[in-house]
Structure 1
Amino acid sequence: MESLVIFDLEKNSPDNWKIINDAVMGGKSLGSFYFNEKGNCVFEGNVSLENNGGFSLLRYRFDAVKTQKYSKIIIKVKGDGKRYQFRLRSRLSDDHVYISFFETSNEWKDIEINLTDMYPTFRGNKLQKPNYSKERLEEIAFLIGNKKAEGFKLEIDSIMLT
């Protein structure tokens, strides 16, 4: 089975990661990320519901990757027992993203997501468009927004297409 590494700290720069908190719409959530001594990306912080807030997002952008020959994305993560949203964007110019949800535990897990199961949304609303078409990929992201005030921590080891 052919695979393509999307993120692995040994092969990719951490400079393409960015946090976007609900402060963009007046909220007070605060997420951050860093790379720990093991080389894993750690996304952690606090989600606040103040001022109609309620999310924190960690985004990773990269040069376009053709995805036709792949059927799944596999993310190796260790979490905190909370639910996260995994997002991908075909083109940076697209308004919408494709999403899937996953649950975490405090053990390392390989989360397998079928690319064609990822459905399009815009600002949390499902769109009447086809699911992800497996043509290209320019951005992935992790979002926490479970409609509750909570601390969170997600450790990301690797992300690959298979």
Structure 2
Amino acid sequence: MRTEDVLALLGDAASAGRVRALRGDLRGRVDVHIARAREILQSDVARVDASALSALKAGVEAHDAATDDESRWAAMREAYDTAQRALLNAANDPDLALADVTHVGSETVKDDAFVERKMTFYGENGGDAGRWRSLNDGVMGGASSGTLSTTDDGRCMFSGNVSLDYNGGFASVRAYVEEVGEDFDGVYIDAKSPTGEAKTFLFILKDEPCLLEQTNFKVKFKVGTEFTRVKIPFAAFCRAERMGRVVLRPPLKIDAIREFGLMILKGSPEQVGPFELEVKEIGFYRG
């Protein structure tokens, strides 16, 4: 059993436990989590972060020592959260490590036989631009802004301002899609930074369960002042989040992709303030 196997087991337990909790079977939720933790600890493991295993062991011991279901669940929740963070961090930030950024010229993009374009922004009414909506930190009381608009030369501009006022700090745009990515290796975006600022953006994918669970899969990327094709393998979308907190669930279902998104998030000082990301097209690639 290796890291990916342990992550899959933890995700399966979390999903099964969530179903039991929704049915009111809180004890059943605990039972699912403790059974999976014991299974992992009793298995032969290889290349699995030791601190993750220690967290699971401590959780099992705390569970066994607890005298009520609330304490048992608290022990399991803490163990799972700590173990998954350790397993994901052991991969050296998979978001950035797996994002394959390739610089290409316009002719290469046109002649690429291994892509399928999904979003363009030229033609009547700006192509697919009208399918996007804004989702900013105003939903939490923040003051950031972010919109997607078309340019005169058939591209779109994701622009706005990231503000820290009122505990805010993110801006995003989203588009509902109905895509199947099984025949491809990942998603690409052709984009550039018109101002030359080296801001970090995130590409978001949601599958069908994400819409129900209010979760996201996000991957970081950067671009320069010339158009760049950013190729992101589907495997990079390995960390489900809800409001910045890791959520235990199975991997992204690439046969049921339901949302594309672009986001900018607070962090380092250069992330705060005005931003612009010019996008030519978005699609899937193979090879």
The verdict on a shared fold, with TM-score over 0.5 as the criterion, is yes
Distance 2:225 2:115 in 1: 26
Structure 2 counterpart of 1:113, from 232, 256, 265: 232
Residue pair 2:203, 2:221 contacting (<8 A) in 1 also: yes
Distance 1:13 1:118 in 2: 23
Secondary structure in structure 2 of the residue aligned to 1:157: strand
Question: What aligned pairs does 1:1-162 form with structure 2 within 5 A after superposition?
Answer: 2-10=114-122, 12-62=127-177, 64-79=178-193, 80-91=197-208, 92-119=211-238, 120-147=240-267, 148=269, 149-162=272-285
What is the TM-score of this pair, normalised by structure 1? 0.90
User: 2:76 aligns to what?
Assistant: none
Distance 1:65 1:154 in 2: 24
Distance 2:114 2:212 in 1: 28
Residue pair 1:117, 1:131 contacting (<8 A) in 2 also: no
- Structure 1 runs of 4+ with >6 Å offset: none
Distance 1:93 1:6 in 2: 24
Matched pairs, number: 161
1:161 corresponds to which letter in structure 2?
F
Distance 1:8 1:134 in 2: 21
Structure 2 unaligned regions, length at least 5: 1-112
Secondary structure in structure 2 of the residue aligned to 1:23: helix
- Pairwise CA distance, 1:2: 4.4
Distance 2:121 2:147 in 1: 17
Distance 1:10 1:39 in 2: 4
Structure 1 unaligned regions, length at least 5: none
Larger of the two Rg values belongs to structure: 2
What is the TM-score of this pair, normalised by structure 2? 0.53
Residue pair 2:144, 2:170 contacting (<8 A) in 1 also: yes
Residue pair 2:217, 2:252 contacting (<8 A) in 1 also: yes
Relative to structure 1, the CA distance from residue 6 to residue 94 in structure 2 (aligned partners, 3 Å threshold; closer, same or farther) is farther
1:130 corresponds to which letter in structure 2?
P
- Pairwise CA distance, 1:103: 1.3
Residue pair 2:122, 2:153 contacting (<8 A) in 1 also: no
Residue pair 1:83, 1:146 contacting (<8 A) in 2 also: no
More RCO (CA 8 Å, sep 6+): 1
1:71 corresponds to which letter in structure 2?
D
Q: State the identity %.
A: 24
2:219 corresponds to which letter in structure 1?
S
Higher helix share: 2
Distance 1:13 1:156 in 2: 12
**3-12 or 72-81, larger mean C-alpha shift:** 3-12
- Pairwise CA distance, 1:9: 2.1
Distance 1:65 1:130 in 2: 19
Deviations 1:27-85 (A, max 9, x none): 011122210011111011111000000010011122x1111111111110102310011
